[in-house]
Amino acid sequence: METAAIAVQAMLGMSMGMLYWIVSSGLTFTFGVTRVLNFAHGAFYMFGAYFTLSIFELTQNYIVSLLTAAAIVALIGAVSERVLISRIYGLPVPFQLVLTFGLVLIFDDLVRIFWGTVPKMIPPQFVGSFNIFGRSLPIFALYFIITGIVIALVIYLLLSKTDWGMEIRALTTDRETAMSSGLNPSFLYVTSFMFGSFLAGLGGGLYLPISSASPAMGEHIIIYAFIVTVIGGLGSIKGAFISALIIGMVESLGAFFIPWMTIALPYIALAFVLILRPEGIFGEK
């Protein structure tokens, strides 16, 4: 009885962790390459949800809307990088904070102007649930787990099997040698920013059918993305994957065993990691 319940909680925790993973993968990826901690990542996630919503209203096709929206967000990411963020590479961290936080405010207000303040929904896309150990597991939980794993595989293949991935790895491993051997960092910066924004947009679009699109929705997820990124080690993709799963599981099992403490658990996990291993699980010293 108890074991089955715990197994179901763990599966739900995995599914919850996968959303954190999808959003934080983009954040940590961009950071690894550009060394800019992008606060506006949450705003890209919000754009992903809103574009998916609007395109869905036109096309009534969820998958098409999801991918088109993420592509549009990638373009917004590219423009932001070229026009604004590229100007602050190498400058002290406060510049990054002020600039990317400024973007958050602008993007949030754009959403309010174009879509209004009342949250919006599309019809649920993954209706129903499985019966597993006598308990119901919503289909959307499974869809998150599968999508999360697919995204992890795609990132792995891109980084290990393509020239672009090799250059990215070279740049993140030894910046100076890589640049002196003729890599074009601008191209890598803009493309990695696009890719990171694409993942944020995808996260927002994936999240839309299980909830809604609302102004500043990125504020909630970005805190978790930061926790995940810091626990995993800033810039570490593998770390983000593992720590997103840990956070999802901790929250889900916490809700089962110690419900009154649920919201404190991710922060407790973060504190533990910072005390024992300040650079994060897979971080570099």
Partner 1 sequence: MAGMARREFLKYVAALGAGLLIGGGIGYALRKPEVQIIKEEKPTEVGEKLKEKIKIGHIAIFSGPLSTYGELQRRGSLLAAEEINKAGGIMGSKVEIVYRDSAGKPDEAVKQVRSLVEREGCDFIIGIDSSGVVLAVAEVMPEVNKLLFVTHAATHRLTEESIYKKGIKEVFRITVPVYQDGTLAAFIAAQLPATRWACVHPDYEYGYSSWELFQKTLSKLRPDVEFVAEAWARVGTTDFTPLISSIMEKKPNGVHTVEWGVDLFTFVRQARESGLFNAVKYGGGYAWINPMGYSIDAMETLATEYPEGCWVSGRYVWMYPDTELNRKFVKAHIERWGHYPAYSGEASYTAVYLIKKIIEITKSLDIDEHIKTLENAAVYSPAGVRFIRKEDHQAVYEVPYGQIKHDPKYPIPVLTNLKTLPAQEYYRHPPFEEMPPYKDLYEKVLQKV
Q: Which is nearer to partner 1, 115 or 189 (CB)?
A: 115
Q: Which is nearer to partner 1, 202 or 221 (CB)?
A: 221
Q: How far is the CB of 252 from partner 1 (least distance, A)?
A: 4
Tokens 């030894």 belong to 174
Q: Which is nearer to partner 1, 187 or 267 (CB)?
A: 267
Q: How far is the CB of 265 from partner 1 (least distance, A)?
A: 10
**Rounded Cα gap, residues 272 and 145, in angstroms:** 26
First to last CA, the chain: 44
Q: Closest Cα to residue 235, out of 36, 19, 97?
A: 36
Q: How far is the CB of 187 from partner 1 (least distance, A)?
A: 34
Q: Which is nearer to partner 1, 11 or 237 (CB)?
A: 11
Interface residues toward partner 1, by CB under 8 A: 5, 8-9, 12-13, 15-16, 19, 108, 112, 117-121, 124, 126-129, 135-136, 138-141, 207, 210-212, 214-217, 219-221, 224, 251-253, 255-256, 259-260, 262-263
Q: What are phi and psi of 137, to 5 degrees?
A: -120, 115
Q: Which is nearer to partner 1, 81 or 251 (CB)?
A: 251
**Rounded Cα gap, residues 233 and 172, in angstroms:** 14
Q: How far is the CB of 163 from partner 1 (least distance, A)?
A: 36
Cβ 20 vs Cβ 150: under 8 Å? no
Q: Closest Cα to residue 263, out of 277, 252, 276?
A: 252
Q: How far is the CB of 53 from partner 1 (least distance, A)?
A: 12
**Chain-centre distance of CA 64, in angstroms?**
20
